[in-house]
Amino acid sequence: MAKGHRSQIKRERNENQKEMRPSAKLSYARVSVQKACFVLDAIRGKDVKTALGILAYNPRYASSVIEKLLKSAIANAENNNGMNADNLYIEECYANKGPTMKRIQPRAQGRAYRIEKRMSHITIVLNER
């Protein structure tokens, strides 16, 4: 039987398992997972400067959202972990499905078509070379 209160034991266990890789997460981004993944696939595994260049000249809407998120992850790495921005690369980046807003489009003869406005949760994890 371990010593201490249950919450204290959990707190100690979580501190040991805490991940030291800098990351940034954007929840409820108004872009579908499929559209975000096109952009994320282009930057996965690249170093940070190359990825920012790709995002700056990518015409998709998701690239502007992901560029902002990548800059946030870089700032987290520099300020929280004391890492050098020149040595960083994108280790993981993925988009998970978020909630869907359901809207209705009126059609002929009193019918209604459903429009689904999809959202996603985008995560970028960096690491140092």
Q: Which amino acid, one-letter code, is at 99?
A: P
Question: What CATH number does the domain containing 97 carry?
Answer: 3.90.470.10
pLDDT digits (tens, 9 = 90+) for 59-104: 999 999 999 999 999 999 999 888 898 999 999 999 999 999 999 9
Q: In the predicted model, what is the mean pLDDT of residues 24-39?
A: 95
Which structural domain range is residue 55 located in? 20-128
Kindly state whether residue 7 falls inside one of the protein's structural domains: no
pLDDT above 70 as % of the chain: 95
> What is residue 108's three-state secondary structure?
helix
Distance between CA atoms of 122 and 98, rounded to whole angstroms? 9
Between the CA of residue 46 and those of 22, 35, 38, 76, 127, what are the distances in Å?
A: 16, 19, 15, 18, 11
Q: How many domains does the chain have?
A: 1
Kindly state whether residue 27 falls inside one of the protein's structural domains: yes
